[in-house]
Amino acid sequence: MLRLPSFADPHVHLREPGSTDKEDFYTGTCAALAGGYTALLDMPNNPVPTTTEAALEEKIGLARAKIVCDVGFNFGATPDNGSEYPRIVQRVAGLKAYFGHTHGNIIFEGLPAMLAIFLSWYPAERYPHKPIMIHAEGATVAAVIGLAALYNRRIHICHLSKKSELAVIRAAKEKGIAITCEAAPHHLFLTEQEAAPDKLGAYAKMSPALQTEEDVRALWQGLADGSIDMLATDHAPHTRAEKDSSKPPFGVPGLETTFGLMYREVAEGRAGFDLARLVELLAIAPRRVFGLPEGEGEVEIDETDKYEFSNEGLYTKCGWTPFVGMKGQGRVRRVWLRGQLVFEDGKVLAASGSAKILSFEG
């Protein structure tokens, strides 16, 4: 058995309020415990986006009653909601800005909107653990690095998918720009081929899209050499009915599959890094970057357990995984949160509403 610090995920979509057909605070946090996570940061792209203090308060109230692992929130940026920030900044992990096409209706493209958002958030030294979390691709990644440098804003690049994006992030780090980034497992284990209609089709459609084998190799290298700071699942469940429709939404779930996928690569010597680095990527770095409490959760893993991922027995309400048929190693057997056994052998033991809303003073 391995005993590790529990994992923390800076990027999940728990879908409440507004899309509880896909997931809710209870099912999403149960999926988190099953995957070895005890702390999550939820994203603001709900049907009524979390871009006002009232929407944030409603979300916190709903979460408080249901969560079985700790949850914090990222606030949604618009070019003109800066007046909300002084009222919400103590209660959020960061400001989420969508600068490219994805699921949801808070997407802002073009320099005027990007500039307004950058200028209304706080300088890097004012809140060193509250970055602007950025959804951007391609040249827009270079553009936000430029804005971060010019206006001294801390940024975190979400779900990095391309070799060229990693190259500019590396260069930014060498220049001392306040930047961190994350990679998601779907971009590490699947390529654009898997999104073909005769393969996973819509079940492999997410934003950013799956890339080439060369991009995948570059991301693994970035995880190994430290230029990618952490793993994030970008857990983004959608129902089967939606995925089977003529206009399938972007996004795939990930909380229950990430550790097993990653650990198998480590155990079989293909990852290019060891278990200590995997723990850094899943547990240590997210807490350090976002200022989350440390030492509050532990996970026990049967590292000898090998299995195949399937759609059976998942806690996520969407009931499917894009990794079906792929092999995993290392099963989460027990999870503790602040000394309480909250998950054991496939069963959630924590009562609904027993976990903590993460607050972010300072």
Point out which residues bind Zn ion (CB under 5 A): 102, 135, 234
Of 341, 305, 275, 297, whose CA–CA distance to 9 is shortest?
297
- 315/336 with CB nearer ligand NCD: 315
Instruction: Please select the residue that binds ligand NCD; options are 34, 69, 106, 206, rule is CB under 6 A.
Output: 206
- 234/256 with CB nearer ligand NCD: 234
Is position 103 an interface residue for ligand NCD (rule: CB under 6 A)?
yes
51 binds, among ligand NCD, Zn ion, none (CB under 5 to 8 A by kind): none
Of 169, 174, 176, whose CA–CA distance to 144 is shortest?
169
Scan residues 24-53 and list those touching ligand NCD (CB under 6 A). 45
Degrees to nearest 5, angle at CA 161 with 75 and 98: 25
- 135/264 with CB nearer Zn ion: 135
- 40/348 with CB nearer ligand NCD: 40
- 13/66 with CB nearer ligand NCD: 13
Measured CA to CA, the distance from residue 235 to residue 164 in angstroms comes to 24
- 31/206 with CB nearer ligand NCD: 206
Measured CA to CA, the distance from residue 191 to residue 203 in angstroms comes to 13
Three-state DSSP at 294 gives: coil
Binding segment toward ligand NCD, per CB under 6 A, in 98-106, 169-177, 193-201, 220-228? 98-106
Contact assessment for residue 57 and residue 91, using Cβ atoms and an 8 Å cutoff: no
Three-state DSSP at 46 gives: coil
Write the binding mask 154 to 193 for ligand NCD: x where contact by CB under 6 A, - elsewhere: ----------------------------------------
Nearest residue by C-beta to ligand NCD?
251
For 218-237, give the DSSP string.
HHHHHHHHTSS-EE---B--
- 104/330 with CB nearer ligand NCD: 104
The number of beta carbons lying within 10 Å of the beta carbon of residue 25 is: 26
Contact assessment for residue 246 and residue 218, using Cβ atoms and an 8 Å cutoff: no
**Binding-residue total with ligand NCD (CB under 6 A):** 12
Torsions phi, psi of 352, nearest 5? Answer: -55, 125
Binding segment toward ligand NCD, per CB under 6 A, in 96-104, 266-274, 304-312, 334-342? 96-104
103 binds, among ligand NCD, Zn ion, none (CB under 5 to 8 A by kind): ligand NCD
Beta bridge partners of 8: 39
CB of 11 to Zn ion, least distance (A): 5
The 2-5 sheet, strands edge to edge: 2-5, 297-308, 327-337, 340-344, 347-348
**84 contact partners, CB below 8 Å, separation of at least 6:** 51, 52, 53, 75
Instruction: Please select the residue that binds ligand NCD; options are 16, 23, 24, 234, rule is CB under 6 A.
Output: 234
CB of 193 to Zn ion, least distance (A): 22
250 binds, among Zn ion, ligand NCD, none (CB under 5 to 8 A by kind): ligand NCD
Is position 153 an interface residue for ligand NCD (rule: CB under 6 A)?
no
220 binds, among ligand NCD, Zn ion, none (CB under 5 to 8 A by kind): none
Cα torsion angle, 220, 223, 227, 230, sign: positive
Is position 135 an interface residue for ligand NCD (rule: CB under 6 A)?
yes
Of 78, 82, 76, whose CA–CA distance to 59 is shortest?
76
- 135/205 with CB nearer Zn ion: 135
Instruction: Please select the residue that binds ligand NCD; options are 72, 185, 251, 328, rule is CB under 6 A.
Output: 251
For 147-173, give the DSSP string.
HHHHHT--EEE-S---HHHHHHHHHHH
CB of 302 to Zn ion, least distance (A): 30
Place of tokens 């989460």: 332
CB of 159 to Zn ion, least distance (A): 6
Return residues touching ligand NCD (CB under 6 A): 13, 45, 102-104, 135, 206-207, 234, 236, 250-251
